[in-house]
Amino acid sequence: MSAALFYLASLIALCGAAGVILAKSAMGSVISLLASFFALAVIYLLAGFQFMAAAQILVYAGAILVLFLFVIMLLNLGALGTKFELSFAPFQSARAKLACAIAVGLGLIGLIAAQRASLPESVAQASAEPIDSVHNLALALFGRYSLPFQAVSVLLLVTMVAVMVLAKRKRVGKGNEQ
């Protein structure tokens, strides 16, 4: 049963990712991304990573998508049509078709390599404490990865300030003069 649920969640994640690229409206892309995020959270749950599933829902499906929706509404791209429409126009050029063929080929090569590879003994043996424990994640995040964690925090702060500066500026358009 869990294998069938895994394949169903994988299919939903892939369809959601394709919907992000192929949707004609920005709102359709965000809704497709939301479906993909939820499917990834289900995959995390099936793998036994409850903390990662909760973080996926709270951080990505919650905070990141709210940020995307804020930008879409700020730029006035939120016109949601009566139906969800897909556009295959970006994939009509020869370059795009070649890029898709290369991506599929590299994906197949990666799958074949993963099937043929064997895990080293140290990775194959499970540790006594689960990898998803909050204590182990905190030790890694605030120990070994403390500098990258702080760099991401500064990057998010700069992004937040930039969004506020963009929101405060006067836009030139219908009825607005600078």
Q: What mean pLDDT do residues 55-69 have?
A: 83
- pLDDT (tens digit per residue) in 146-176: 888 888 888 878 877 777 777 676 655 555 5
pTM, to two decimals: 0.59
Report the percent of the chain where pLDDT is more than 70.
76
List C-alpha distances in Å: 27 to 22, 44, 71, 163: 12, 26, 11, 19
**Residue 124's pLDDT is what?**
45
- pLDDT (tens digit per residue) in 137-146: 788 778 888 8
Q: Note whether 29 and 19 are within 8 A (CB).
A: yes
Query: Mean pLDDT highest for which of 14-28, 77-91, 108-122?
Result: 14-28
More confident position, 74 or 109: 109
Cβ neighbours for 141, distance < 8 A, ≥ 6 positions apart: 149
d(CA 3, CA 58): 25
Domain limits, the chain: 1-79, 133-169
Lowest mean pLDDT among 42-46, 92-96, 129-133: 129-133
CATH number of 1-79: 1.20.120.1200
Report the percent of the chain where pLDDT is more than 90.
13
